[in-house]
């Protein structure tokens, strides 16, 4: 019986954590066509309780980055409670993606896209 090890590389932080005013957003993009899998971690700190917490939307391009989907593929929101930190990771196939991170409600929050883990291959052992 043979086993396989994952061969991992890393992409430096896509967007360092930064403050966003209420209802503002920031974007980041990633291009990696040869990856088997991308693990993209998002970081949030919500400072005040709001009716709509921060959220992330993911848009994929299938034409080399000329256009991106108009409907977000996985999207999620995080805790709306004030004074909370959260980290969510999205697992994607290799490709070209744009990420939109939005601050919810009237409160400032901190959002960022940390170091991405890239599965480049499987190595037989």
- Structure letter (DSSP) for residue 115: P
Could you tell me which CATH class the domain 4-124 is placed in? mainly beta
Mean pLDDT of the chain: 86
Residue 119 has pLDDT above 90, yes or no: yes
Strands (E), 1-125: 4-11, 15-20, 25-32, 37-46, 55-61, 73-77, 84-92, 95-102, 109-113, 116-124
Nearest by Cα to 33 from 93, 91, 90, 73? 93
Q: 51-77 pLDDT, tens per residue? A: 677 788 999 999 999 999 998 876 777
Q: What residue ranges do the domains of the chain occupy?
A: 4-124
pLDDT at 43 over 70: yes
């Amino acid at each position: 019986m043979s086993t396989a090890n994952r061969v991992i590389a890393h992409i430096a932080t896509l967007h360092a954590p930064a403050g966003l005013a209420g209802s503002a957003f920031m974007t980041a993009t990633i291009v990696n066509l040869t990856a088997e899998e991308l693990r993209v971690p998002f970081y949030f700190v919500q400072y005040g309780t709001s009716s709509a917490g921060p959220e992330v939307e993911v848009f994929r391009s299938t034409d080399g980055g000329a256009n991106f989907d108009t409907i977000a593929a996985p999207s999620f929101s995080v805790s709306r409670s004030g004074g909370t930190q959260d980290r969510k990771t999205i697992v994607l196939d290799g490709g070209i993606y744009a990420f939109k991170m939005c601050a919810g409600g009237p409160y400032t929050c901190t959002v960022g896209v940390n170091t991405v883990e890239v599965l480049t291959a499987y190595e037989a052992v």
